[in-house]
Every structure is written in structure tokens, then in C-alpha cells.
Amino acid sequence: MAGDRAAARFGSSVRSIAAWLPRQRWFGGKDGRRIDDLSIGSAIELRSGDPGLHHLTLDVVQDGVTDRYQVLLGVRRDLPGRLRHAEIAVLADGRDEPKARLYDAAFDPDLTRTLLAGLADGAAAGPLRFHRMPGARIRTDLASLPITGEQSNTSLLFGDAYICKLFRRLSRGVNLDLEVNLALTRDGCAHVPAVLGWIELAPGPRDGDAEPVTLGLLSDYLHTGADGWSLAIASVRDWYAHTPAPGEDEWAELDASAAGGDFAAEAERLGAATAQVHGALADAFGAETVPAREVRAMAARMNDELTATCRAVPALAPHAKALTAAFVELAALADPLAVQRVHGDYHLGQVLRTESGWTLLDFEGEPARSPDERRALAHPLRDVAGMLRSFEYAARFLITKPGSVPPEARPRLETRAQAWAARNRAAFCRGYAAAGGSDPAAHGALLRAFEFEKAVYEVRYEARHRPAWLPVPLGSLAHLTA
């Protein structure tokens, strides 16, 4: 079936697709804006018959801005119960087309094997191209299972061998996650999952010299890995439950090493792994030096974001004076600044602890930033600041939810949260410096400005998307700016 015929076939379901999209976790336009227009940009048949599989790109217009999304569209005459939750629409009867049900095929292992087959063969279907990493062997007999909980993408777990990330909201050209992981895989970096293949959409006749658009990335699945957030939360929970020995004074509340689940050794190893990845990124993409005037401009942008966020979230205003002082201190630095590619959205949820050490994931950058902002070079301490913020989040997560702890216990647990965060922040920085990263202790003004910039971003993000989490960044700022 030609692409234009497929688009015409599914065009009658555009209204149903527009109603289905805002209910998906990965849809980026759920902030109260309505969909003004939706059209099918491309429709490519990947498998005929029943069930059938089609790859669709959707152009979604909201407030005059067009975003492009990809959907794997399954077509079945009878939808089994296990797929009813993924139904999108019922295709109207036509003279030469039987009635069919359309659904999100990312949930159908009978169809997602088509992706593995295409990657293994290096196949092509019209402008849709599958690429296999030279030397990689890809099994095609594995069933997929979507990983739940993701916010902006859909990852399919194939057995215990591979993970395929489908980028739902498409960006121009090569996706940062593919670009960085591909370079680090070729460089032999041990702290990223090996890239096995990727899927892309070649530019059309109207796209001129545009680069192919990245659709998906297949990597090794680290089945022995535990994410850093879960490990850190387990450590915090153990520290909160720790009972000091009889006769210990109030200083026992500050000794987070006394708990059995101490995380500091792992935090130090994570710092070392982070420095090694930063070194690999500099080797792969190079580094530059920006003059002091660019540092002043960066500090001004930080302060502008603070001003705008204080207007949007008045609860941040009491901290504005201390935050502004940090940005002024940054602007006063007279030395040029070394910049390079960095992770860009670095936190405990982006790392896995495996049998062989720490692995870094998801190099796409902060989701609320523009593609150009995410690709911009930065000082590596920006990532360090992101991880320091994540330790603050982990320390307070268990006491943030209303009713999670009795009011009388909150002051003691806040003291413990500060102690846990301080211990692990110091361990991470120690490991980072020992492995060759810029010593955080020697760049206090720069690190402080980066951390406060990240905190302002967190406040804005939480107020907009997760209001229940807003006390986490505000609580840590109350301590860090005191």
C-alpha cells in the first residue's frame, strides 16, 4: 500500500487520534492547550494482513506551533482483550476495506518483532530506514514488553537482551541520545549501554538538505542493573529508620554513615564514572573555551529565568535574594570557561548500577528545553550540579507527601535529610575530582550558580507538572540558601 493511500485510509480517524493523544503520558501538549489541527505527515506499511502494522508521523498544531509525533499503528479486525487498553479508533467500513480496529502497536509483541527484523536486516520501507551497528548480532525471536512509567518516550524491553527506545515526540535531525551514545559506543566507553542499531526517517522531497529524523534506538539491556534513584531511596529509608544506640547524643542524627544502607561508597563510584564519561565526551566531540563575557551573559540568563519563575511561582520569591547573589558572583568571574558536550539532564534516575559498575543513560537533555538548548555546550559541572540536586530530592522524597510522616517527626527527619544529602554530595564530588573531573571544591561559585539554576528549573517544572513535589526543591533551597 503506498504511503498516500495509507494516509487516506487512516485520515478518517484523525479526530479519534486527536482525542486519544492527550491521554498518552508521552504527549507533550497536555498543559491545557487544545489541539488546533492534526494531520498525518507520513504513513508507511511495515506489515500487511491481520494484524497489520503501519508507521505514522503526526503533525500536531497547538497555539500555532507544530510538533511531530510518531505512532506505531496496529490494525486488527478483532482486538484481543490484552490490547483493548491500547485501542485508538474503529476504522469505518469502506467498499474495499473491512471494518478494523486501530490501536497503539507498541503494546503488541506480535507486531513489534517487525522492528527487530528490520534492524537485523538493515531493511528499508520507503523513507523508513533500519540501521544495524557493524558487528552487532540481533535476535528476532524475542517478545517485547513496554516499560511503564516513562514520561516522554516509549521503551520496549525485548526479553532480557535489548531495549528499544521509541522517541515519541520527534526532534529535527539526529536525536541527541543516539548521537552521543553512538559516539561513546564507537569510542569503547564502558559506562554507556552499547548501541546495536537505530531507526530513522529519511527527509522527504520538501525537506531539502535536512538530516534524517531519529525514530528509535536499540541498545543492550542491562538486566542486572538497579537504577540509582531506587538504591538511594532504599538508603534514605534505612537512615530514617535507624535508631541511635543508647547514650548517643544529638550528633548521632547527623552521622548518616551509621545506617546499614549507607550509599556514600556508591556515590563516590558514581562521581568517578561521571568524570570518565565527561572525558570520553570531550574526546569524542571536542571542547571549547568561551570568554568571560559569555559567562556574564549566562549569569544574566539565569537571573532572567529566576525573575520569570518567581512571577509564576510566588513561593520561590523568599529565596530570590540568595539566588541572585549566586548569579552575580558567577558574573564576576574573570576567567574564560571550558565547555563541552555534557549529559544535560543528569540525576539518579538516569544511572544504573550493574555488576560491572555505573552506567549512564538518556543523553537527550532536559525535556523542557529546546533542541538547540539541549545541544549547547556547557561546563561539566552543570551535570555535577544536576546530580547534587538529585541527592537533595532523594533525601526529602519520603517526607514530602502530605501525611507521610507525623508532624512531630518532621523536624528530626529534615535534619536527617540534610545529613544524608551532605554525606553523599561530598562523596560524589570526591569521586568526580579523583577521576580527573574539575574539582567542585575549587569552583564553588560556578557550581553554586549551576545548582541554583537547576533548582529554579525544578521549581518551575514541579509547579507546572507535579505540584505535590514542589516542596522538595523549595525545602532544599531553604537549607542551601540559609
Cis peptide before 205 (omega within 30 of 0): no
Per-residue pLDDT band for 320 (boundaries 50, 70, 90) equals very high
pLDDT > 70? residue 174: yes
Does the pLDDT of residue 65 top 50, yes or no? yes
Task: Over range 188-196, report the average pLDDT.
Answer: 95
Cβ neighbours of residue 130 under 8 Å, at least 6 residues apart? 115, 118, 119, 121, 122, 123, 124, 197, 199
Task: Please report the DSSP string for 211-270 in residue order.
Answer: PPEEEEEEEE--TT-EEHHHHHHHHHHHHHH--PPTT--GGGGG-GGGSTT--HHHHHHH
For residues 143 and 158, is the Cβ–Cβ distance under 8 A? Answer: yes
* Spatial CA neighbour of 194 closest among 163, 154, 168: 163
Q: Is the pLDDT of residue 289 over 60?
A: yes
Q: Does residue 356 surpass a pLDDT of 80?
A: yes
Residue (of 110, 111, 112, 132) closest to 121 by Cα position: 132
Query: Look-up: residue for cell 555535577?
Result: 384
pLDDT tens for each residue of 6-16:
566 787 788 99
pLDDT at position 370, please? 78
pLDDT > 90 in the chain, percent: 74
Residue 94: band (very low, low, confident or very high) from pLDDT cuts 50, 70, 90:
low
Q: Average pLDDT in the 332-351 region?
A: 94
Q: Are strands 351-354 and 287-290 parallel, antiparallel or unpaired?
A: unpaired
CB atoms closer than 10 angstroms to residue 52? 20
CB 113 within 8 A of CB 54: no
For the segment 363-387, what is each residue's pLDDT rounded down to a tens digit? 988 877 777 888 899 999 999 999 9
Task: Count Cα neighbours of 112 within 13 Å in the Cβ-side half-sphere.
Answer: 26
Distinct helix (H) and strand (E) counts, the chain: 13, 18
Q: Are 94 and 191 in contact (CB under 8 A)?
A: no
pLDDT of residue 181: 95
pLDDT for residue 3: 47
Do the beta carbons of residue 58 and residue 38 sit within 8 Å?
Answer: yes
pLDDT of 402:
67
Counting Cβ atoms within 10 Å, is residue 194 exposed (0-12), middle (13-18) or buried (19+)?
middle
Confidence at residue 28, expressed as pLDDT on a 0 to 100 scale: 86
Q: What is the pLDDT of residue 135?
A: 92
More confident residue, 453 or 372: 453
Query: Is the pLDDT at 284 greater than 60, yes or no?
Result: yes
Cα 183–122–127 angle (5° rounding)?
95
pTM of the model: 0.88
Contact assessment for residue 135 and residue 120, using Cβ atoms and an 8 Å cutoff: no
**For 357-387, b where at least 16 C-beta lie within 10 A, e where not — what string?**
ebbbbbbbbeeeeeeeebbeebbbbbbbbbb
